[in-house]
Amino acid sequence: MTIPADDGWHFIGKHAFRFEPPDILFSRPIGDMSVDQVKQMMAFLDTLPAPEKGFFALLDSAQAGRQDPAAMKLPEVMERMQLYQAMVYFNADFHHRTIIGLYQRVGRLMKFATSNIPVMICNTETEARAWIDAQRRKS
């Protein structure tokens, strides 16, 4: 269950999510994310107004743990990945950068729906938001 906060953040366990109109889904995962928590995140995504061109996922990896690998096999995850225009990570350490790269390679090899979604890794939130702005101007 997501628990809304007064500042627009919704919490699933320790993980925080916020929709920033018109098209950003800002995520701050803290620690590991279970399959059940991923399902709850998908349910939260269903409550948001769908941007015409898709969401930009803005992910703060500073305190992120690992996501249960079984979550990536969930049909609802694969289906909702098509709702994204791009994903941009920031504060990603070496471990996270490696995992993100592996997911990208596996996605391309397995022809997952996510394989065509641009993924960017930035050092700071400011850089990540600037990248999103540049992507908006391109489309």
Q: Find out whether 135 and 118 touch, Cβ atoms under 8 Å.
A: yes
* Two tokens, residue 79: 């289906």
Is the pLDDT score of 9 beyond 90?
Answer: yes
Domain segments of the chain as ranges: 3-37+54-138
Which pTM does this prediction carry?
0.84
Fold of 3-37+54-138: Transcription Regulator spoIIAA (3.30.750)
* Two tokens, residue 41: 């995140």
Cis peptide before 75 (omega within 30 of 0): no
Q: Each residue of 42-99: pLDDT tens digit?
A: 999 999 998 999 999 999 999 998 888 888 778 877 778 788 899 999 998 887 778 7
d(CA 5, CA 116): 34
Is the pLDDT score of 3 beyond 70?
Answer: no
